[in-house]
Amino acid sequence: MNLRELTEAFVMESRSILGENLAGVYLHGSAAMGCFNEKKSDIDLLVAVEEGLSDGVKLRYMDMVVRLNEEAPPKGIEMSIVRRAVCRPFVYPTPFELHFSVTHLDWYRRDPLDYVDRMKGTDKDLAAHVTITFQRGKSLYGKEISEVFEPVKKEFYFDSIWNDVADAEEAILANPTYVILNLCRVLAYGRDGLVLSKREGGEWGLSNLPAEYHGLVASALKEYSSDGASGWDKALACGFAAYMLGRIRNYNPILNAI
């Protein structure tokens, strides 16, 4: 399935399973921000419900998500279900009813009952997902975004995206494209208050970072937008991560309050 077909099927199945409990289905991430790459991007979906879900409903819903995930692009679906009550006013860290990504696929297939019993709690990542949904997301079904969500406080959003890059010095060699572009967009938010996609973050970096890092960022942008892989200067990449984390820390309201 292509992106449109898959999201339409996701909405139809969500309506069938959740019925009147479904408040809305929202697209965020690269697919909402105009930089979706079928071979390298996942499909980010946020589902809002009026009330909590029983384990039986969770099992039906997960079976549906896993089935559609088999028809999705290689990176698959990433999906969270949240209650409206934690979205407006926004609660941080944010409780969730159910979550899925391909990282957890084997766990669900191995023991579905254990999965739906334990896949709940709070998730700091939801502050980033809700921010992107509120500012740049697309409503696929249900209530308008502004009816379900409200702006996330700066300190919550920054803490959420900081958690995604805090280990950049160790992670950059394992996944350089993701880490390089993510560091750029986090600094763009800290310095300029911009909520950007990874591609937009890289473009911001080319205009705002020291020239010594332009080649590194340009390579990350090229790899992100194509099907190929780049060679990386490991020392330069590690130096970039250290430099960027040092600058980002200066803008982190939670770290600076300690």
Residues in CB range of 117: below 8 A, 6 or more apart: 55
Specify the pLDDT at position 228: 63
Q: Are the CB atoms for 45 and 6 separated by under 8 Å? A: no
Specify the pLDDT at position 11: 98
Rounded CA gap, 253 and 162, in Å?
11
Rounded CA gap, 254 and 256, in Å?
5
Specify the pLDDT at position 257: 55
Q: Does an H or E element contain 127, and which?
A: helix 125-136
Pairing outcome for strands 43-49 and 77-83: parallel
Q: Which domains does the chain have, with CATH numbers?
A: 3-152 (3.30.460), 155-257 (no CATH)
Instruction: Show the 3-state SS of 89-120.
Output: CECCCEEECEEECHHHHHHHHHCHHHHHHHCC
Q: How far apart are the first and last CA of the chain?
A: 48
Q: Are the CB atoms for 120 and 97 separated by under 8 Å? A: yes
Q: What is the pLDDT along the chain (258 residues), one digit of tens a residue?
A: 899 999 999 999 999 999 999 999 999 999 999 989 888 889 999 999 999 999 999 999 999 999 999 999 889 999 999 999 999 999 999 999 999 999 999 999 999 999 999 999 999 999 999 999 999 999 999 999 999 999 999 999 999 999 999 999 999 999 999 999 999 999 999 999 999 999 999 999 999 999 999 999 999 999 998 866 668 999 999 999 999 999 999 997 666 654
Dihedrals φ, ψ of 78, to 5°? -120, 125
Quote the tokens at residue 246. 């040092």
